[in-house]
């Protein structure tokens, strides 16, 4: 596993926020990874393992997740605040632009950021998310988000998460489920628990059913730069129709990659995904050379 340094920055409201910093060249844009709703920086270990050293890789914990402080005001668990946090991090580090890898909510944040600061985006990968969200996926997520379950052991956690998600990842092994559990959970003095502030659920539907579902203009702001769209073949959040329309809207700037036998979301270890990430970074490098 690639080594990293734990670093921190502060939100405008004074929250101490965490990111993993994997070293790489400073003469090209870093890869900046933004996780999904209930997830954290650990989700992007496959990205760091593949690219750290060749690229600087920055993996953030959004406020209320992982090692980042929770927000006492749940209304601030929304893309506008997350994007403001990301822009503060870029400014703190003196980063002019980055290649954004956004999983689910992270992809929504990437689209929001593009609509106001497109020049900060050298390229983007949107992992199983688009400007329209399938209501079926929202309903499914709503059944578990914000429920503070506790597991007695890592084996118990992996088993419970497998029972809940097996239809989305039918070919995962017990080792895959163990890895998944260790990324999404953490050990506490009160058992193994999910690694996020349960209060994010209070604002979940307002965010999920809000502007992104009607905001193709946010996605269109990515035009003119390399974009990769990942869609899990079994996804209930990003429909095939929406994914195909996304490619059409960007007029050749986007590549759609459908990941077989996977739901929401691909874990970035699949061979087709890793090949797609390679192609995206090659396109970014070619564009940087021209610029």
This prediction's pTM: 0.96
Phi, psi of 195 (to 5 degrees): -95, 55
Give the DSSP letter of residue 291. -
Distance set, CA 186 to CA 53, 58, 151, 152, 224 (Å): 27, 21, 10, 12, 40
Instruction: Answer yes or no: is pLDDT of 203 > 90.
Output: no
- Give the per-residue pLDDT at 70: 98
Which residue's structure tokens are 């203009």?
217
Instruction: Answer yes or no: is pLDDT of 211 > 80.
Output: no
β 227-232/121-127 pair status: parallel
Asked if residues 225 and 124 have their Cβ atoms less than 8 Å apart, the reply is: yes
- Give the per-residue pLDDT at 80: 94
Instruction: Answer yes or no: is pLDDT of 22 > 60.
Output: yes
pLDDT, one tens digit per residue, over 140-194 is 988 889 999 999 999 999 999 999 999 999 999 999 999 999 999 999 988 999 9
Residue 6 CB neighbour total at 10 angstroms: 11
Instruction: Answer yes or no: is pLDDT of 1 > 70.
Output: yes
Distance set, CA 176 to CA 95, 153, 159 (Å): 34, 16, 11
Residue ranges and CATH numbers for the domains of the chain are 5-143+211-290 (3.40.50.1820)
Instruction: Answer yes or no: is pLDDT of 34 > 50.
Output: yes
Asked if residues 257 and 196 have their Cβ atoms less than 8 Å apart, the reply is: no
Helix ranges (H only) for 172-270 are 174-184, 204-208, 216-220, 240-249
Q: Residue 39's Cα: distance from chain center in Å?
A: 8
Average pLDDT score over the chain = 94
- Give the per-residue pLDDT at 183: 97
Q: Name the residue with higher pLDDT: 127 or 189.
A: 127
- Give me the mean pLDDT over the 202-218 stretch: 69
d(CA 58, CA 101): 10
- Give me the mean pLDDT over the 50-77 stretch: 97
- Give the per-residue pLDDT at 31: 98
Give the DSSP letter of residue 65. B
Instruction: Answer yes or no: is pLDDT of 127 > 80.
Output: yes
d(CA 168, CA 176): 13
Instruction: Answer yes or no: is pLDDT of 251 > 90.
Output: no
Element (H, E) at 230: strand 227-232
Residue 212's pLDDT band, with cuts at 50, 70 and 90, is very low
Phi, psi of 257 (to 5 degrees): -125, 120
- Give the per-residue pLDDT at 208: 60
**Sequence-distant (≥ 6) Cβ neighbours of residue 222 within 8 angstroms:** 110, 111, 114, 118, 121, 124, 250, 253, 254
Distance set, CA 124 to CA 131, 244, 257 (Å): 14, 17, 13
- Give the per-residue pLDDT at 210: 55
Instruction: Answer yes or no: is pLDDT of 290 > 90.
Output: no
Which residue's structure tokens are 């004074």?
14
- Give me the mean pLDDT over the 119-145 stretch: 93
Coil vs helix vs strand at 11: coil
pLDDT, one tens digit per residue, over 232-246 is 999 999 999 999 999
- Give the per-residue pLDDT at 206: 64
- Hey, which bits of the chain come out as E strands? 5-10, 16-22, 31-34, 57-60, 98-103, 121-127, 150-151, 185-188, 191-194, 227-232, 254-259
């Amino acid at each position: 596993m690639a080594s990293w340094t734990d670093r921190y920055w502060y939100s405008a409201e004074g929250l101490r926020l965490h990111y993993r910093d994997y070293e790489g060249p400073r003469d090209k844009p870093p890869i900046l990874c933004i996780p999904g709703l209930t997830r954290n920086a650990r989700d992007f270990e496959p990205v760091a393992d593949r690219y750290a050293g060749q690229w600087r890789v920055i993996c953030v914990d959004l406020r209320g997740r992982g090692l980042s402080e929770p927000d006492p005001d749940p209304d601030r668990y929304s893309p506008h605040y997350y994007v403001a946090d990301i822009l503060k991090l870029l400014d703190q580090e003196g980063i002019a632009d980055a290649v954004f890898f956004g999983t689910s909510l992270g992809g929504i944040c990437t689209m929001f950021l593009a609509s106001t600061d497109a020049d900060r985006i050298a390229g983007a990968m949107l992992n199983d998310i688009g400007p329209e969200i399938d209501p079926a996926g929202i309903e499914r997520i709503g059944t578990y988000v914000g429920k503070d379950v506790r597991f007695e052991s890592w084996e118990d956690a992996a088993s419970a998460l497998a029972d809940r998600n097996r239809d989305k990842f039918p070919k995962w092994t017990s080792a895959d489920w163990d890895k998944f559990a260790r990324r999404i959970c953490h050990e506490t003095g009160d058992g193994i628990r999910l690694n996020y502030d349960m209060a994010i659920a209070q604002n979940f539907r307002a965010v999920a059913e809000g502007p992104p579902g009607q905001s193709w203009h946010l996605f269109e702001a990515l035009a003119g730069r390399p974009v990769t769209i990942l869609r899990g073949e079994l996804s209930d959040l990003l429909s095939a129709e929406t994914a195909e329309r996304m490619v059409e809207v960007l007029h050749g700037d986007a590549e759609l990659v459908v990941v077989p036998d996977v739901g929401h979301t691909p874990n970035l270890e699949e061979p087709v995904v890793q090949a797609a990430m390679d192609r995206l970074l090659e396109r970014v490098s070619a564009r940087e050379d021209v610029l």
